[in-house]
Chains A and B, each alone.
Chain A
Amino acid sequence: MTALAWVGASLVALGVPFFLLGTLGLLRFPDVFTRLHALAKADNVGLGLVCFGLGLHSGSLAHALKLALIWLLMVIASAVGAGLVARAAIARGVKPWGV
């Protein structure tokens, strides 16, 4: 493997713990708001690192740009989705944990 591929592979490996911890948070956190908080880390940072790593690993600019676009769309969708879920929870009268 080239140096670029090694850097890419390490970035992917670095991104995986964010997914693991995000899933753990989704399962173990006490209410919907804290769960959303945990999920956002997996969506944004985890996927960002994985996409960035895969882009470097592929060694092709076209592939890297497509992966960057996927990450950008995911960040936007994740932010809007999290906002919608949180607003729906508030509208239903869900109290944040510890308040």
Chain B
Amino acid sequence: MMAWAITAFDALLVALLLWLAWQAIHADGLFRAVISFMVFGLLMAVAWVRLDAPDVALAEAAIGAGVTGALLLSALGRLPERDKEAPADRRARGLAAVGLAALALGGATALATIAWALPAPGLGREVTEALPKSGVDNPVTAVLLNIRAFDTLLEIGVLLLAVIATWALGPMQWSAPARVMSPALPVLGRLLFPMFVLVSAYVLWRGGHAPGGAFPAGALMGAGGVLVFFAGAKPWITGAELDPWRWLLSLGLVAMLVAAVGVGATGRSFFEYPVDLAGLFILALEVAAALSIAILLFALCLGGRPPHRWGSEDEA
């Protein structure tokens, strides 16, 4: 009975995910598409939980549904009105959609049949063997910040590049003071921000021995910053060249590079931490990466180079 119910739940989840993915691409009107994408992110997090990957679920919920949703919605707010409307040729698109869906279903079934026959992939055994030397008890954190730290270095590098590119495109569009719809929103921001800091620190600390870590913690903190910003608060970070907060943007990348190359001074190879200090290395890198990720995601949500000084438009 129980196994049957769980299988039915999984099937429902898969069907909903496929339908939402379709909606996110083909919904009439961009607003519906964005909302579908956000719900897709939330259900994807549930799917990761069902796959016993709570770490990925945390990151997916915070980044996929939270930060990306805020990013898409704020982009939508800047589009001219006519771009948001539904295209006219709905019937033709509907027919094409049915044909494509049939094709996709056939392809997916074929792929699933092939995947079933393949040997189970994974390096789970190797990771478990290396875990005692990695400095943490959580295998996901061990992979992200020790065994495959190089990948994480590149991921943070990509985020930094994205922010640099966004800032290079021009100043952000910002009208001062931000128009706030409801007096409850600033109160909510003030109430919740300490909670965001607390939960981020908790998620970061948990990363050493349980699901958590730098990416979810940073995304949560960034989302908290975005909420407070939309509630009318002035950000600390500015577009001024000597703004100390700008160092936080590159802190994660710089810290990881220093750790990766620094161990070379004692004759070790790239990212080869001393085994007895590995836990300390990982903790320091996680804090640096989380702070960086938080402020990088926040900077991305601004949608352009922030003004030199918050408070007046003309200086932007």
A interface, CB within 8 angstroms of B: 73, 76-77, 79-80, 83-84, 87-88, 91
Contact = CB atoms under 8 A, between A and B. Distances in A.
B181 A91 contact: yes
A18 to B, nearest CB: 19
B181 A79 contact: no
Contacts of A77: 188
A79 B191 CA distance: 14
A77 B223 CA distance: 14
Majority secondary structure of chain B interface residues (helix, strand, loop or mixed):
helix
Interface string B166-201: 000000000000000110110010011001000000
Nearest to A77: B188
A73 B184 contact: no
A84 B191 contact: no
Interface string B192-236: 100100000000000000000000000000000000000000000
Interface string B143-186: 00000000000000000000000000000000000000110110
B195 A83 contact: no
A87 B181 CA distance: 7
A84 B188 CA distance: 12
Contacts, number: 21
Contacts of A79: 184
Nearest to B231: A80
Contacts of A88: 181
A91 B179 CA distance: 12
A32 to B, nearest CB: 14
B277 to A, nearest CB: 32
A80 B195 contact: no
21 contacts: A73-B192, A73-B195, A76-B188, A76-B191, A76-B192, A77-B188, A79-B184, A80-B182, A80-B184, A80-B185, A80-B188, A83-B182, A83-B184, A84-B181, A84-B182, A84-B184, A84-B185, A87-B181, A87-B182, A88-B181, A91-B181
Closest 10 CB pairs of A and B: A80-B188, A80-B184, A87-B181, A83-B182, A87-B182, A84-B182, A83-B184, A84-B181, A88-B181, A80-B185
A80 to B, nearest CB: 5
A34 B184 CA distance: 20
A80 B185 CA distance: 6
Nearest to A91: B181
Nearest to A72: B195
Nearest to B189: A80
Contacts of B191: 76
Given A76-B188, A87-B181, A88-B181, 8 more contacts: A76-B192, A77-B188, A79-B184, A80-B182, A80-B184, A83-B184, A84-B185, A91-B181
